């Protein structure tokens, strides 16, 4: 290990989070402590995402060692395989080094990793040594010992969560005056507009636009065309779901964002919808109401499939008795609560309610994420609840299950991430919102206002 390039020591959780992290440090060198290899060995059994990632890391390491000459030229000290380390490929030009000398840390794995990094720093005082870990406590320990420690940020969708696309934008009051060339027409009972896009109008497909005040208007960007110098946008006037007469399965939008969400959920041309919002903003209720209207009334989809990230996602869902659906029931309180609201006919009394509940239950299926791999959903309306607890890889696994005629709706609140090592900027939900915003068949809305009750609204602000 010579030269002024940095040496990055990787913790186990980084490799288990992203097996390709070995190749993400470009010209810099990568160091793997022996404790990390032991922890990878412990994690290799099982069918969870973590176990799969652990096995993939071991395959990568084995491939690199074989390419680097097998066990030839082992040396004492911190340089293993040969004095130059193993050359990393796949876009990285740095080298891979292992620990061979036993470190002096006490029994805990974190302390042994830290001790090996301290040894590495002492052996190479002329090179910057950086510990990369997703464990906040290990970063604190490293800082106490004077070791530079960083989080693994290569998979961050955004530098700052505040930059995330919200799905809606306010128009200036002089919007119509700024677009004298505006063209409008009616077609199939809907009003369309075509405008030239100005440089300061950074619009995306299916973004919702609104002008507040007396001249209140709500539009959606249907299509963007032309090159950068002469871009044109086709806009459509949104349906107004705020009145009970235009409600969806008996649900009327209580605020502007909910109206935007219902327009996207009811549009068959939008295949992928993401709804972000804090507790009580109506995400699940809106998604279910739109699903029932399109399954029962319009018969656009065969059935609703609802799944959610149980926090131990990918692990065994336990030894609860019953079918897959019965095992998932404890996680599905949000579904049953919302179905009670939606299945409340005024006529028929308790018998009518029971009949309605049975009918809806036959069209709403609960599925576990564990058994999604390899499936294809045809003409289904798939709701993924608590999607903020999914990694980008898990999100990709789920979205790629969609067959012809299927619509996927992802719901979540990134302020309530329960999975270790996931943050607002690395959550699969944030990743999906950012990557899909340019696609013509996807839409996103951030719901801002809670609509549960005045008690719930006051509690969320005051407590």
Over the stretch 448-461, which tens digit does the pLDDT of each residue have?
887 778 888 788 77
Instruction: Write down the pLDDT at residue 290.
Output: 95
Domain boundary among 91, 117, 150: 150
Instruction: Write down the pLDDT at residue 139.
Output: 94
Residue 454: phi and psi, rounded to 5, are -65, -30
Query: Do residues 275 and 287 lie in contact, with contact meaning Cβ atoms separated by under 8 Å?
Result: yes
Instruction: Write down the pLDDT at residue 344.
Output: 67
Residues 304 and 336 in one domain: yes
Question: Which strands make up the sheet holding 29-32, listed edge to edge?
Answer: 86-87, 95-98, 29-32, 7-10, 129-132, 148-150
Instruction: Write down the pLDDT at residue 105.
Output: 57
**Would you say residue 242 lies in a domain?**
no
Query: Do residues 29 and 6 lie in contact, with contact meaning Cβ atoms separated by under 8 Å?
Result: yes
Does the pLDDT of residue 360 top 60, yes or no? yes
Instruction: Write down the pLDDT at residue 44.
Output: 85
Residue of 184, 192, 203, 189 lying closest to 236 (CA atoms): 192
User: What are 303's strand-pairing partners?
Assistant: 380
Query: Do residues 145 and 114 lie in contact, with contact meaning Cβ atoms separated by under 8 Å?
Result: yes
Query: Do residues 68 and 30 lie in contact, with contact meaning Cβ atoms separated by under 8 Å?
Result: no
pLDDT in tens, 80-104: 434 455 666 665 677 888 887 766 6
Instruction: Write down the pLDDT at residue 329.
Output: 66
Instruction: Write down the pLDDT at residue 10.
Output: 94
Distant-in-sequence, close-in-space partners of 320: CB < 8 Å, separation ≥ 6: 326, 327, 330
**Would you say residue 156 lies in a domain?**
no
Average pLDDT over residues 247-268: 93
Residues 64 and 35 in one domain: yes
Instruction: Write down the pLDDT at residue 213.
Output: 79
Instruction: Write down the pLDDT at residue 79.
Output: 43
What SS3 state is found at 196? strand
Q: What's the Rg (C-alpha) of the chain?
A: 27
Distant-in-sequence, close-in-space partners of 403: CB < 8 Å, separation ≥ 6: 376, 377, 378, 379, 380
pLDDT in tens, 400-436: 989 999 999 999 999 888 887 788 888 999 999 999 9
pTM above 0.75, yes or no: yes
Does the pLDDT of residue 263 top 80, yes or no? yes
Please give the C-alpha separations between residue 170 and each of 10, 239, 446, in angstroms, as whole numbers: 45, 18, 14
**Would you say residue 155 lies in a domain?**
no
Compute the distance between CA of residue 259 and CA of residue 76 in angstroms, rounded to an integer: 67
Instruction: Write down the pLDDT at residue 73.
Output: 37
Residues 322 and 370 in one domain: yes
Domain boundary among 236, 257, 288: 236
Residues 145 and 196 in one domain: no
What SS3 state is found at 429? helix
pLDDT in tens, 271-322: 999 999 988 888 999 999 999 999 988 999 999 998 887 654 445 555 666 7
Does the pLDDT of residue 192 top 80, yes or no? yes
Residues 207 and 268 in one domain: no
Most confident of 22-31, 137-146, 390-399: 137-146
**CB atoms near residue 435 (< 10 Å):** 15
Residues 201 and 77 in one domain: no
Query: Do residues 304 and 291 lie in contact, with contact meaning Cβ atoms separated by under 8 Å?
Result: yes
Residues 112 and 183 in one domain: no
Average pLDDT over residues 34-57: 88
End-to-end CA distance of the chain: 54
Average pLDDT, whole number, for the chain? 83
Q: Where residue 325 falls among pLDDT bands split at 50, 70, 90? A: low
Domain boundary among 186, 201, 236: 236
Residue 381: give its domain's CATH number. Answer: 3.40.50.300
Instruction: Write down the pLDDT at residue 397.
Output: 87
Residues 261 and 182 in one domain: no
**CB atoms near residue 422 (< 10 Å):** 21
Provide the residue range defining the domain that includes 375: 249-462
- Burial code (b: 16+ CB inside 10 Å, e: under 16) for 339-366 equals beebbeeeeeeeeebeebbeebeeebbb
DSSP 232-295: EEEEEEPP--SSGGG-BTTB---SHHHHHHHHHHT-TT--EEEEEE-TTS-HHHHHHHHHHIII
| One-letter-per-residue 3-state SS of 89-128 | CCCCCCEEEECCCCCCCCCCHHHHHHHHHHHHHHHCCCCC
Please give the C-alpha separations between residue 99 and each of 3, 433, 454, in angstroms, as whole numbers: 19, 40, 59
Instruction: Write down the pLDDT at residue 352.
Output: 65
Average pLDDT over residues 394-399: 89
Residues 218 and 255 in one domain: no
Tally of domains within the chain: 3
Residues 26 and 126 in one domain: yes
Please indicate whether residue 85 or residue 258 has the higher confidence score (pLDDT): 258
pLDDT in tens, 207-247: 999 998 777 899 999 999 887 778 899 999 999 999 888 88
Residues 177 and 277 in one domain: no
Compute the distance between CA of residue 387 and CA of residue 310 in angstroms, rounded to an integer: 10
What SS3 state is found at 49? helix
**Would you say residue 44 lies in a domain?**
yes
Residues 374 and 446 in one domain: yes
pLDDT in tens, 121-173: 998 888 999 999 999 899 999 999 999 999 988 877 777 788 889 999 999 98
């Amino acid at each position: 290990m010579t030269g002024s390039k940095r040496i990055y020591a990787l913790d186990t959780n980084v490799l288990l989070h992203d097996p390709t992290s070995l190749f993400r440090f470009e010209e810099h060198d990568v160091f793997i402590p022996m404790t990390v290899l032991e922890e990878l060995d412990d994690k290799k059994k099982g069918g969870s995402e973590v176990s799969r990632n652990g096995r993939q890391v071991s395959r990568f390491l084995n491939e690199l060692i074989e390419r680097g000459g097998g066990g030839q030229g082992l040396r004492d000290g911190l340089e293993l395989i040969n004095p130059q380390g193993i050359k990393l490929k796949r876009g990285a030009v740095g080298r891979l080094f292992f620990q061979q000398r036993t470190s002096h840390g006490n029994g805990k794995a974190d302390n042994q990793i830290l001790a090996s990094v301290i040894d590495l720093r002492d052996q190479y005082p002329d090179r910057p040594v950086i510990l990369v870990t997703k464990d906040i406590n290990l970063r604190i320990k490293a800082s106490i010992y004077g070791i530079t420690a960083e989080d693994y940020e290569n998979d961050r969708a955004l530098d700052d969560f505040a930059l995330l696309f919200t799905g809606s934008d306010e128009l200036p009051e002089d919007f119509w005056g700024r677009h004298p060339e505006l063209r409008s027409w009616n077609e199939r009972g809907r009003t369309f507009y075509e405008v030239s896009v100005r440089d300061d109008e950074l619009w995306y497909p299916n973004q919702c636009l609104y002008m507040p005040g007396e001249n209140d208007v709500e539009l959606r960007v249907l299509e963007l065309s032309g090159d950068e110098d002469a871009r044109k946008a086709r806009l459509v006037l949104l349906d107004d779901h705020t009145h009970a007469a235009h409600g969806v399965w008996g649900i009327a939008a209580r605020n502007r964002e909910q109206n935007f969400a219902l327009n996207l959920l009811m549009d068959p041309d939008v295949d992928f919808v993401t709804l972000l919002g804090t507790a009580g903003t109506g995400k699940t209720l809106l998604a279910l109401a739109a699903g029932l209207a399109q399954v029962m009334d319009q018969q656009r989809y065969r059935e609703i499939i609802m799944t959610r990230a149980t926090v131990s996602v990918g692990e065994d869902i336990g030894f609860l008795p019953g079918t897959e659906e019965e095992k998932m029931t404890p996680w599905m309180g949000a579904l049953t609560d919302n179905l009670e609201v939606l299945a409340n006919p005024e006529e028929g009394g308790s018998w009518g309610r029971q009949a309605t509940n049975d009918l809806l239950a036959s069209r709403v299926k609960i599925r576990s994420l564990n058994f999604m791999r390899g499936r294809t959903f045809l003409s289904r309306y798939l709701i993924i609840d608590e999607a903020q607890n999914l990694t980008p890889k898990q999100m990709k696994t789920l979205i790629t299950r969609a067959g012809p005629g299927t619509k996927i709706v992802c719901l979540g609140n990134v302020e309530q991430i329960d999975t270790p090592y996931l943050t607002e900027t690395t959550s699969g939900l944030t990743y999906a919102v950012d990557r899909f915003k340019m696609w013509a068949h996807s839409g996103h809305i951030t719901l801002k206002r809670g609509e549960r009750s005045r008690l719930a609204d006051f509690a969320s602000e005051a407590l």
